Structure 1
Amino acid sequence: MASSDEPQSLRAVFEAAEDKRQEVNEAPSATSPKYAEDLAAALKLYTQALDQIAALSLFSANEGVEDVATSSLPYLLVDFYLAELVQRTPHLAPKERLQVLARARASYERFLSAVDGYGLVTGSYGKLLERYRDDEEAFVAVAGDMAAKREGKIANFKAEKALREKLETLKRNPRYLEHGDEELVRKVHLTSIQFAVHNTFQALDSLNRELPLLRSAPSPTAAPKASGNDPTDTSFRLDQPLSQLRPGTGGPLLSTKGKPLQPFTLVGSRADLAKGVFRPGHNLPTMSIDEYLEEERRRGGIIEGGGTEPPKQEVDEDDMEAVDRETYKARKWDDFTDDNRKGSGNTLNMG
């Protein structure tokens, strides 16, 4: 049976890691140096906590969740928190990002394996785990045609909302806040694990969608050679000499007999060039707006009349961004209809 008397050092390391994770979550920008420092510190602390958990043998495959001490339950989440933070590592080239995603996947899998060993992956999540183990890289949280995916994403959203509300309700209970009731504290920890299981499958889905994009990304091109100290090397200059801007190789344009030796462009007289010095830097209009509209009307570019509503455009089920937009739109409408009874906004004729 897992001991509840873990060393203070493990509790201290875990709490410090949680504090750093909170700072990362509340960071205003992922591009700031502080974000990178807090992220690195949190990853280091969670890794230390994992080492101490393994050294203490807090968890065993031969016991059930009822055998785990309440104070030890939060440590089951260390791999999940580690995976989340690893996946949020910013500013990486595709090759480095692939390595980061591999690390995140390994941590998510360790978390799922640990909590599944205690029978905490149940119901629909158990089926998701079976599908994931069948084909890890082809796993998606919601499968099927476009309609099934839409319904599945709405169901996922509602499940996540229900778990979050349940967790917040438990934590607001005075028995939890003021008295630290053992039964209620244990229920909070188990609900947190359920919430993490839900988020793990969503994260693995997102990870699998990112992988093909990274693998198909072009490799970075070789950096251009430096000009060095050669004073004759002007390849780095934007204002190249006119002789190099001409399509030929330099030299005279015409032979002694008047035969062209290289391509050239006639640009007019010096007087014409002088007139163009003070012209506007933009092209002036060649016709008025009315003339333009009349010309467009003549060419058939203006459609007049009509008034019928255009047909509703079908969403391409292979366009995941469009499908997600439709899904979030449907979620928002479902939430609105849940919170607002039909006709509740009509204040007329209510007597």
Structure 2
Amino acid sequence: MDTPEPSLRVLFHQAKKQQEGLDSLDPRSADFKHALQSIIDNLEQCRNLIRDLSLFSTNEEVEDISTQDLQYLTVDCLLAEVKIKGYGEHRQVSLQDAAELFEHFLTRLDQYGLLGTSDRKLYERYLEQRSSFRIVSSNSPEEKRRIKISRFQEEKSLKQKLQYLRDESQKANVDDETIRSLYLAEIAFLVNKAFSSLDMITQELEILSQMRHAEPVKPGPPPPDQRFPARPESYSERLDGPAAMAGLAKRGGPLLSPSGKPLQPFTLTDKRTQLRQGVFRAGHNLPTMSIDEYLEEERRRGGIIDGGGNANAPQPEPDEDNMEQVDAATMKAREWDEFVEANPKGAGNTLNRG
């Protein structure tokens, strides 16, 4: 005996219950992917049953829809929300499918007159700018801020109304009008979320399109490190080379004059002999001159300044018989005392004040 297919009511409530528990799962886990696909399958069956049963028609008003069937107006929106939660290699296709479902959802609500004035303007703008739709079309920061605050307050108000109606619907002997108001509040809340999702989908599709058309970057040689300038092949880190041993004043100078006269002592040797001599040398750089020789060389190069001023010399005491000098010294000391009293220690430190 064949098992009867579940009804529209069972499939719809099962999908909504699964969707509520989807946020508690890890999006990278296999359980999340399995639950996501199960919700999609249930909502797809709901769409097929709605179409087969012809629950909605463009020739009727919203008052003609029964309270029980009113909740099924949200199937397209719920399915679109589930599709945008899946990330995989077919991400672009999922986003495009979700955008079409959101559009079907808004179109049906517009046919029944369930879109408010501001939502209808957004819907018309979306139909004109599907590939570049933005909730905030203005570039003015003040206008963007005003619209974001307005939509945030609207969403907050819808959540509060929805929670109140849900609490009322759980009471005993709830009337049909309360249930109908609950379904209409859910529709209004999903309309607000639908436009936000369409804004996000448009931006993400633009990014994916740019990534697809971007030319692949070919790996090339690494750029030269500017911190380390190019050095000749003869460069060496050793400080006690043959030129350094000849003395500080002649380091790096020519060995012979133009007439062929030696300018500094040198030894003719081959590379092997030079390496052999460096095997048993000291592990540190040996001094090439004494301290006195170094100071003399620095003085010759102008690195030492001799002499100095009289800034540290003791100041002469004023002559007590010279009343003008005594009065001037007294006035100077008095002015200094007044300055110290008017400017206590630490008065100018404005950084560490509490």
> Shorter chain as normaliser: what TM range?
0.5 to 0.7
Deviations 1:185-212 (A, max 9, x none): 0000001001111111111111111122
What SS does the corresponding residue of 2:134 show, helix, strand or coil? coil
Larger Rg: 2
**Which residue number in structure 2 is paired with residue 48 of structure 1?**
45
Quick one: which amino acid aligns to residue 44 of structure 2? Answer: T
Gaps of 5+ in 1: 1-6, 223-262, 276-304, 309-351
Q: CA deviation at 1:138?
A: 1.7
Q: 4+ residue runs of structure 1 moved beyond 3 angstroms? A: 218-222, 263-272, 305-308
Q: 1:186 maps to what in 2?
A: 180
State how far apart, in whole Å, the 2-side matches of 1:271 and 1:80 are.
Answer: 82
Partner in structure 2 of residue 89 of structure 1: 86
Separation in 1 of the partners of 2:186 and 2:279?
A: 81
Cross-structure match for 2:117? 123
Distance 1:134 1:266, change over 3 A: same
CA shift, 1:43, in A, is 0.3
Instruction: Quote how far apart the aligned CAs of 1:8 are.
Output: 6.2
Q: Percent identity?
A: 31
Question: Any conservation in 2 of the 1:13–1:45 contact (CA below 8 Å)?
Answer: yes
User: 1:23–1:38: 8 Å Cα contact kept in structure 2?
Assistant: no
Residue 208 (structure 2) aligned to one of 193, 206, 214: 214
User: Corresponding residue for 1:156?
Assistant: 151
Counterpart in the other structure of 1:67: 64
Deviations 1:108-162 (A, max 9, x none): 0111111111110122111111111111122111221111001100111100000
State the alpha-carbon separation in 1 of the partners of residues 207 and 149 from structure 2.
26
Aligned partner of 1:257 in structure 2 is: none
- Residue 110 of structure 1 is matched in structure 2 by 104
Counterpart of 1:20 in structure 2 is: 18
**Does the 8 A contact of 1:176 with 1:184 survive in 2?**
no
The structure, 1 or 2, with the larger RCO (C-alpha pairs under 8 Å, 6+ apart) is 1
CA distance in 1, matches of 2:174, 2:135: 36
Corresponding position: 1:199 with 2:193: yes
Check whether the contact 1:171–1:177 (CA below 8 A) recurs between aligned residues: no
Could you tell me how far apart the structure 2 residues matched to 1:307 and 1:143 are?
Answer: 47
Give the Cα–Cα distance (whole angstroms) in 1 for the partners of residues 117 and 193 of structure 2.
15
Change (3 A) 1:44 1:127: same
Q: CA 1:265 to 1:127, structure 2 compared with 1: closer, same or farther past 3 Å?
A: same
Superposed CA deviations along residues 7-58 of structure 1, whole A, max 9, x for unmatched, are: 961111112211221221332x211111111001000110011001100000
Q: Partner of 2:335 in structure 1? A: none
Write the distance in 2 (CA, Å) between the matches of 1:47 and 1:35: 18
- 1:176 touches 1:185 (CA, 8 Å); kept in 2? no
Q: Distance in 1 between matches of 2:97 and 2:9?
A: 25
Q: Distance in 1 between matches of 2:48 and 2:86?
A: 22
Q: Cα deviation per residue 1:272-291 (whole Å; 9 max; x = unaligned)?
A: 9xx9xxxxxxxxxxxxxxxx
- The residue type equivalent to 1:89 in the other structure is G
Long gaps (5+) in structure 2: 217-232, 239-274, 284-347
| Correspondence for 2:171 among 168, 172, 177 | 177
Q: Structure 1 counterpart of 2:97, which letter?
A: R
Q: Which amino acid aligns with 2:22?
A: V
Amino acid across the alignment from 2:128: D
Q: Could you tell me the TM-score, scaled by structure 1's length?
A: 0.59
TM-score, with normalisation over the residues of structure 2?
Answer: 0.58
Cα distance in 2 for partners of 1:19, 1:155 equals 31
**Cα distance in 1 for residues equivalent to 2:102 and 2:91:** 16
State how far apart, in whole Å, the 2-side matches of 1:113 and 1:125 are.
12
> What letter corresponds to residue 147 of structure 1 in structure 2?
E
Counterpart in the other structure of 1:11: 9
Residue 247 of structure 2 corresponds to none
Partner of 1:240: none
